[in-house]
Amino acid sequence: MQDFAQQLARCAQSKEESVAFMEAFARVRLAGITKALSAPLAHAAAAGEDLEVDWNDSVLLVESGVDPVDVAKAVAAKTDPGRLFLHIEVALARSKATIATFLDMTGLSDKQKRDLYPWFSSQIGGGSRAELADEVKRLNLHLAWIRRTGVQPETFLAYHRHLGIHGSSQNFSGAVGAMGAAIAFIDAIDEISPGSIIEIVGTSPSILRNKSPEAIAEYLVSGTKTDIKAKQIKALVLNNERFVVFSSDPDVSIFYPLVQLPQFPKVAAPKATKNSSKKPKVPKPLKPLTRGEGALALYNQVRQHPVQRSQQLKEFAVGEVKTATDPSNLHERLALGSRETKVEVNADRFLFMALLTKDILEGGTGRKSGRAPLQNRDTVRFTDVFNLHHAWGWDGGRIRHPEHWETFKQRVRLWCGL
C-alpha cells in the first residue's frame, strides 16, 4: 500500500500541466468535430438515385402511404419525390443508407426507431412485403404529420448529425489518447532493450514521436475513416514472442499466445439475397496476416470471452487509457475502468490517466463530492497507476518527472519480459 501511494504521488500534475493537457485535448476534440462538420449532409434520395421507382403508379403510392396529390405538388415544385417520401420499392430493395436517412428525418430516438420500425432497424434484413409496407406507410404518415406542424423533416438530419458528431468526437479523443499510450510503450521498450520490437501494426512511431496531441489529431483526420484506422498503432511484436496489443475494453493487453495465431483474416459469409439478378462477387485472394495482425485478430476474438481468453492467452498485464479531462466525473470513469477485476483476468491491471491533480490523488475534489481519493486502494483496484501526460512526454513530461518514467519502465520491463 505504501509503494502504491508513492507511485500515485509521482503521477501528480501541477496546475499548469493539467491546464496544458486539458487545452490540448480540447483542440483534439475540435479537430474531430471540424472533420465531421466538413462532410456533406446526407439527402434522403442520394443513396437510392440508381434505383428507378415509379412515382406515377397509384397502386404503389397507396401501398407506400403517399397521396398522389402530394407527389404531383412535389413534381410541380421541381422537387424529387424521393427526397420527401419513402417508396415501397426502395424499402423492398433494402437501400440501407436511404432508409437510415428517412429514419433520421422522423426525429425519433434510436430506441423509438427500433420499436416503431423494427424491420427497417434490423441489421440482418428480413420482413415480408406486407410488413415492410406497413412500416413505409407509418413512416410517410409520420413525416406528413411533421410537415403539418410547420417543420420540415430534413431539419432532423442536422440534429442527428450533431448527436453523432458529439459521440464521435469523444471517440476520436480516445483514439488520440491511445496513440499517446502506444508511443509511451514503444519509447520505454526501446530504452530498455533496443531492437526488441520487430513489428509494429500501424503508423511508424518516428512520424509521431515528440508530437503534441493536436499534431497527432491533425495527422489522423487527414484522410478517410479507413485511413484513420490504418494509422492507429494497434500492436507491437517483441522478439521474445510477447505481444502488446492496443484494442478496447481493456485498451492495452500484454500477452503470450498459447495457441497458433490466425494466418488469414476472418471473412464473413456472403449475405443471401432474394430475387437478385446480380452474379455473386468472386472473393479476392486473402492476404496472409503478419504476426502482429494475427495477434490482434486472436485477441479481438477472445477478449470478451473470459474462458477462451484464459485458455488461449497468457496475459501479463491489461490496462485502461482514460482521456477524460473533467475532474467532476473522473471517479465515475475510474469505476468504468475497474469493471474487469484482477481475479478475472489473472494479470496485473494498470491505469493510464490523463488528468491526475494532487486534489484528485489525495482528496480535495473527492472529499467535497463525497468520494474517496485515489489513495483508497478499494476505489481503484489497479496494481499500477500512471499519468498519461507524463509518460507520453511530448512536452518534456518524462524529463520533469524522471521517477515516474523510471517506474513505468520498470513495470514495462517486467510485463514484457525484457
Length of the chain: 418
Confidence of residue 218 (pLDDT cuts 50, 70, 90): confident
Of the listed ranges 169-183, 306-320, 337-351, the one predicted with least confidence? 337-351
Which pLDDT score, from 0 to 100, does residue 93 have? Answer: 83
- The SS3 assignment for 361 reads helix
- As its CATH architecture, domain 2-37+162-275+287-416 has 3-Layer(aba) Sandwich (3.40)
Report whether 223 contacts 267 (CB < 8 A): no
Pick 372 or 401 by higher pLDDT.
Answer: 401
Domain with CATH 3.40.91.10 in the chain: 2-37+162-275+287-416
User: Residue 371 above 50 pLDDT?
Assistant: no
302-307 contacts at long range (C-beta below 8 A, 24 or more positions apart):
303/247, 303/249, 303/250, 303/253, 304/249, 306/344, 306/345
* Tens digit of each residue's pLDDT (9 = 90 or more) over 95-121: 778 888 888 888 888 888 888 898 888
Q: Give the cell for residue 345.
A: 483476468
How many whole angstroms separate alpha carbon 66 and alpha carbon 73?
Answer: 12
Burial class of residue 47 in the structure, from the number of CB atoms within 10 Å of its CB (0-12 exposed, 13-18 middle, 19+ buried) = middle
User: Residue 333 above 60 pLDDT?
Assistant: no
* Tens digit of each residue's pLDDT (9 = 90 or more) over 311-331: 999 999 999 888 877 665 555
* Average pLDDT value over all residues in the chain: 80
Which pLDDT score, from 0 to 100, does residue 166 have? Answer: 60
- pLDDT over 90 percentage in the chain: 29
Q: Please name which of 52, 42, 41 lies closest in space to residue 81, comparing C-alpha atoms.
A: 52
Q: Which of 30-39, 161-170, 334-343 has the highest mean predicted lDDT (pLDDT)?
A: 30-39
Q: Please name which of 336, 371, 372, 374 lies closest in space to residue 358, comparing C-alpha atoms.
A: 374
Place of cell 484513420: 228
121 CB neighbour count, 10 Å cutoff: 16
pTM, two decimals, is: 0.70
Report whether 92 contacts 82 (CB < 8 A): no
